[in-house]
């Protein structure tokens, strides 16, 4: 990676965060795929470390949390036993978004059970300053995780979507139609007007558009969990610091007071120096 010029590293980074896979990036940037992969891993580690150290003491009034599914190597039901030890199978990315600044406060790549939920919510609690209102979906593991991280003195509500029946011929590609939502107050006194997961669910689309390995029904899925985690870290560093939010007209990090300018691709690439 040290032999690459800063301009070339920035070009590769730009191709990756705009949804190109590794081989397409290799062809467009005219470098070997090994070069792209090495930059991906090195920069991913640097971006994760920067987020861990700098995204802290964020004033968040409304925190929206969700998790998005993907897989490594093969879907869980198709994984051969010898591949399980390599991390193959279903993998989830937990995401917490500040509803006002649109900042990704915390993210975590792993499983979807109670242990991962507690790790995720404890990380959120360490990064948020002041009292916040939390909204999650109806995933049961959130209830104990939120209480464990924030205590009982938190405004917390769950929003469970209600889906209608799916026609038999549309079960493969057409999702069920959402016909309503059921709000459940878990603790505190959350404002019903702001019990919503719309922004974090919109981030799910941003992730699927910005990371090729999240695109459904392709062969661009991740083959190694390390590469998957590295790309997620790069995505959120770029999303927070380098990408102007269309509604805010600034980056989420600027809106949250964590940055005073829009980071260039070169600045992000320099994190791996």
Domain assignment present for residue 142? The answer is yes
* Angle between helix 6-17 and helix 22-29 axes, rounded to 10 deg: 140
Q: What is the pLDDT of residues 101-129, one digit of tens each?
A: 999 999 999 999 999 999 999 999 999 99
| Residue 178 confidence class, pLDDT cut points 50, 70, 90 | low
| Residue 65 confidence class, pLDDT cut points 50, 70, 90 | very high
- Domain with residue 84: its CATH number is 3.30.420
Please classify residue 30 by burial: count the beta carbons closer than 10 Å to its beta carbon, then call 0-12 exposed, 13-18 middle and 19+ buried: exposed
Q: What is the pLDDT of residues 12-29, one digit of tens each?
A: 999 999 999 999 999 999
**Residue 28 belongs to what domain range?**
6-272
Domain count, the chain: 1
Mean pLDDT computed over every residue of the chain: 92
Mean pLDDT of 43-61: 97
On the question of pLDDT at 171 being above 70, the answer is no
Domain assignment present for residue 130? The answer is yes
pTM assigned to the model: 0.92
On the question of pLDDT at 250 being above 90, the answer is yes
Q: How many Cα atoms sit within 13 Å of 185 on the Cβ side? A: 11
Domain assignment present for residue 264? The answer is yes
- Residue 173 has what pLDDT? 57
Domain assignment present for residue 1? The answer is no
Domain assignment present for residue 157? The answer is yes
């Amino acid at each position: 990676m040290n032999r690459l010029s800063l301009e070339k590293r920035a070009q590769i980074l730009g191709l990756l965060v705009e949804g190109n896979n590794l081989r397409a990036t290799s062809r467009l940037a005219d470098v070997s795929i090994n070069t792209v992969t090495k930059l991906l891993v090195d920069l991913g580690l640097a971006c994760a470390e920067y987020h861990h150290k700098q995204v802290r003491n964020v004033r968040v009034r409304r925190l929206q949390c969700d998790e998005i599914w993907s897989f490594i190597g093969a879907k869980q039901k198709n994984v051969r036993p010898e591949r399980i030890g390599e991390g193959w199978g279903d993998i989830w990315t937990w995401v917490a978004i500040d509803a006002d600044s649109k900042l990704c406060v915390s993210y975590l790549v792993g499983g979807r059970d109670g242990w991962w939920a507690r790790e995720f919510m404890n990380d959120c609690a360490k990064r948020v300053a002041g009292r916040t209102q939390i909204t999650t979906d109806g995933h049961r593991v959130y209830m104990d995780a939120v209480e464990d991280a924030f205590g009982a003195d938190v405004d917390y509500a769950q929003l469970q979507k209600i889906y209608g029946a799916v026609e038999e011929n549309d079960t493969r590609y057409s999702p069920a139609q959402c016909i309503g939502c059921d709000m459940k107050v878990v603790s505190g006194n959350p404002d019903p007007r702001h019990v919503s997961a719309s922004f974090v669910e919109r981030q799910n689309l941003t992730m699927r558009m910005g990371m090729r390995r999240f695109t459904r029904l392709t062969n661009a899925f991740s083959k190694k969990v390390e590469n998957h985690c590295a790309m997620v870290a790069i995505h959120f560093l770029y999303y927070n610091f380098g990408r102007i939010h269309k509604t805010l007209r600034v980056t989420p990090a600027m809106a949250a007071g964590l940055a005073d300018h829009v980071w260039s691709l070169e600045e992000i690439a320099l994190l791996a120096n």
